[in-house]
Amino acid sequence: MNEVFATSYFRNIVIPSVTVFLCVFLKIVSRNDRYKTYKREDFAIGLDLSISALIIFIADSINCAIQLKLVSELKSVPQLETIVNQLNNKLIDVPWIILVFVCSIWFTSTLVRKIGWKNDSELRLFCGIILPNIFGISSLVFVANWIG
């Protein structure tokens, strides 16, 4: 089973697919029963995915910082310098990646707000649903690969 979880196919295809399915499923099943079962807007999950990916990224970065602190306190671990260098190299990019994440989420939400709406209650297919979903799924794949 571990061999399946360790593949890039699982990380790049299965995780995002299951996440997208669960997000859409939850939007549909949590809808008030008086309304129709689903709407096009239920498939607009890109910004939700990108925020989730950002939170996961920050949590993993905090975990790396904790590991670095613990490893730095050890004196007798072989290959200590290699582990410290790997963690430092990973953590050095974190502030820039978070900045890019925040700016990208801000840009995408502004794009949806300005040109993504067809009318007061209906999103446009491309700018309101597809483009943000591509961004959200890409964010999730990036974070899954960063962690892996």
* pLDDT tens per residue across all 148 residues of the chain: 778 777 888 888 888 899 999 998 888 888 777 776 778 888 999 999 999 999 999 999 999 999 888 877 776 667 777 888 888 888 999 999 999 999 999 999 999 999 999 998 899 999 999 999 999 999 999 999 998 7
CA neighbours within 13 Å on the CB side: how many for 67? 15
Quote the pLDDT of residue 76: 67
Quote the pLDDT of residue 77: 66
Rg of the Cα atoms in the chain? 19
Q: pTM value? A: 0.85
Total length of the chain: 148
Quote the pLDDT of residue 67: 87
Contacts of 17 (CB under 8 A, 6+ apart): none
The gap from C-alpha 16 to its chain's centroid, in whole angstroms, comes to 9
DSSP letter (8 states) at residue 103: H
Strands 122-123 and 117-119: antiparallel
Please state at what angle helix 131-147 crosses helix 15-29, rounded to 10 degrees: 130
Of residues 102, 41, 90, the one with CA closest to residue 64 = 90
Ranges assigned E (strand) in 26-120: 117-119
Ranges assigned E (strand) in the chain: 117-119, 122-123
Domain extents in the chain:
2-147
Of residues 115, 63, 117, the one with CA closest to residue 90 = 63
Quote the pLDDT of residue 31: 79
